[in-house]
Amino acid sequence: MTDPTKPIFEEETSLKTDSVYSYFVILFNDSIHEFAYVEDCLMKLCFKTKRDAKKIAIEAHTNGKAICFQGSMEECETVAENMTNAQLTVSFGV
């Protein structure tokens, strides 16, 4: 039986917060490419739906940058390289 006057302490658990999907690719706004081209690249290279691609393109245009892909380090490196080859300005990191 527990004493109701004493606080009950939960056992501390250490949750691993490092996920293999903790890397991001960030798309930066530019004044060179048309929205349709950026949306197409987001759909083809970042595996986004047309709706999500449009949201990301608008966010990058409005805020100067937007997260366009999340995945493992290797996946993000590949996506960032493909986006760069498509002449889009991106970076990736944690």
pLDDT of 94 reads: 82
pLDDT of 6 reads: 53
Q: Give this prediction's pTM.
A: 0.76
Polymer length of the chain: 94
Q: Provide the token pair at 75.
A: 């996946």
Of 74, 84, 88, 64, nearest in space to 23 by CA: 74
pLDDT of 3 reads: 55
CA distances from 49 to 4, 20, 54, 56, 80 (A): 55, 23, 9, 11, 18
Note whether 83 and 41 are within 8 A (CB).
yes
Q: Which domains does the chain have, with CATH numbers?
A: 23-93 (3.30.1390.10)
Radius of gyration of the chain (CA): 20
Number of Cβ within a 10 Å radius of residue 63: 9
**Whole-angstrom distance, CA of residue 14 vs CA of residue 23:** 21
One digit per residue, pLDDT tens: the chain, 94 residues? Answer: 555 555 444 444 444 445 557 899 999 999 999 999 999 999 999 999 999 999 999 999 999 999 999 999 999 999 999 999 999 999 988 8
